[in-house]
Amino acid sequence: MSQIQQYEHQLPDTLDTSGSKLIYLYLKIENEATINELHAALGMKKITLYSLLQTLTATDLVNQEGAIYTPNGANP
């Protein structure tokens, strides 16, 4: 069974799009990623990733340090 299949996590209520949910779960599982890593793993356009990550950082669900994005805090 893959790590994603074993991962049980309650998503924050503020995640209202499938893209933001996908990015959030990926970061919670992998602990960190760059835009290029997210693009390669999720197959999303970089412009879409930038937009969704901007929203996720503005709502304090994701932190950005340089080019690295990490999930914020403990599991809700």
Split at pLDDT 50, 70, 90, the class of 6 is low
Report if residue 8 sits inside a domain.
Answer: no
Report if residue 50 sits inside a domain.
Answer: yes
Report if residue 5 sits inside a domain.
Answer: no
- The whole-number pLDDT of residue 1 equals 43
**CB-based burial of residue 8 (10 Å sphere; 0-12 exposed, 13-18 middle, 19+ buried)?**
exposed
Report if residue 4 sits inside a domain.
Answer: no
- Measured in residues, the chain has a length of 76
Contact by Cβ (8 Å): 63, 72: yes
Give the residue carrying structure tokens 């996908």: 22
We report the CATH number of the domain holding residue 24 as 1.10.10.10
Which residue range forms the structural domain that includes residue 60? 15-71
Sign of the dihedral defined by the CA atoms of residues 4, 10, 13, 14, in that order: negative
Instruction: For the beta carbon of residue 23, count every other beta carbon within 10 angstroms.
Output: 27
Report if residue 20 sits inside a domain.
Answer: yes
- The whole-number pLDDT of residue 60 equals 95
Number of domains in the chain: 1
Query: Does position 70 have pLDDT exceeding 70, yes or no?
Result: yes
Report if residue 61 sits inside a domain.
Answer: yes
Report d(CA 48, CA 54) in Å as an integer: 10
List pLDDT tens digits, range 17-39: 999 999 999 999 999 999 999 99
